[in-house]
Structure 1
Amino acid sequence: MDGNDSPTVSGQDRKLAVARPVVQRPPLTGRVHYLLGGTLPPAYNDWVSHDLTGPGWRLRQATRPFLLMLPFALIFALLPGELEVRAIVVAFLLISGIGLGFATSGFFRNRRLEQHGFPPIFPTSDDEDEGDGDNS
């Protein structure tokens, strides 16, 4: 080190080192409420926007069903029965939870964005409009 206590990386232009604004995170109870599908107050809109549109949004969306499936997997793991059967059921629940999370991440991201007052990212399906004129 050269003894400088600068916040920039060595060799980086100081003009490019811009401090990022601090995003207010909701408390743990607010995050659990959000995880279960609830709406957060407008004070947390920056956090919600980053959660649903920032890097890693798809993984975060896929993790939600996995986390919601954990209590059920734990209950099935504790039920009496053969160990192999219980392990297969638990694995099925957790793998299907994460698979469903990846499969539906775009839909639920749009739903959550609209729920918090943001415009949807992906366009809605045109299938809903096709049958309107033909059904007389």
Structure 2
Amino acid sequence: MRPGPLLWLWYAVGGTLPTAYQQWVLYDLTCRTWVFRHLARVQVMASVWLLVLLVPGPASLRVSMLLLGYLLTMYFSLSFMEDACERRLVKHGFPAGLNRTIREESAVGQRAELAAMYTAYYRR
């Protein structure tokens, strides 16, 4: 079961979802598109940089502040992507390193099955 838009926004900014969504969280962090999903979550957090456009001053200064902030956000987000995903799993009750284990040990077709198995095992 997928979370609705408001729950997903809460999840994207670092919130913990209810236990009913544990299987989806595990799938979200272990599927073959996990990198793109991480980037989508980062875009939500990086949208805060748009507030820089409201700062009074020359447009060139505001745009350069916006670009610098966005580029730094993307750089650090990509640098610590695996750690951020692991922390998100731990917040949802899974053991550390589970996301890497599933991605390394399984073929693409087996990931959903393994995620369901781990979710059933670690469900509270």
Superposition TM-score, scaled by structure 2 size: 0.70
Equivalent runs, 1:36-51 vs 2, <5 Å: 36-51=13-28
Residue 109 (structure 1) aligned with residue 85 (structure 2): yes
What is the distance in 2 between the residues matched to 1:69 and 1:26?
21
What is the distance in 1 between the residues matched to 2:14 and 2:26?
15
What is the distance in 2 between the residues matched to 1:28 and 1:93?
26
Runs (5+) with no aligned partner, structure 2? 102-124
Higher Cα Rg: structure 1 or 2? 1
What is the distance in 2 between the residues matched to 1:70 and 1:53?
25
Residue 96 (structure 1) aligned with residue 61 (structure 2): no
SS of equivalent to 1:80? coil
Higher helix proportion, which one? Answer: 2
User: Counterpart of 2:18 in structure 1: which amino acid?
Assistant: P
Is residue 16–residue 92 contact of structure 2 (8 Å, CA) maintained in 1? yes
Q: CA RMSD in A?
A: 1.8
For 1:127, the equivalent position in structure 2 comes to: none
Deviation at 1:122, TM superposition (A): 4.5
Runs (5+) with no aligned partner, structure 1? 1-23, 124-136
Superposition TM-score, scaled by structure 1 size: 0.64
Is residue 69–residue 94 contact of structure 1 (8 Å, CA) maintained in 2? yes
What is the distance in 1 between the residues matched to 2:77 and 2:12?
13
User: Counterpart of 2:52 in structure 1: which amino acid?
Assistant: F
Aligned length, in residue pairs: 99
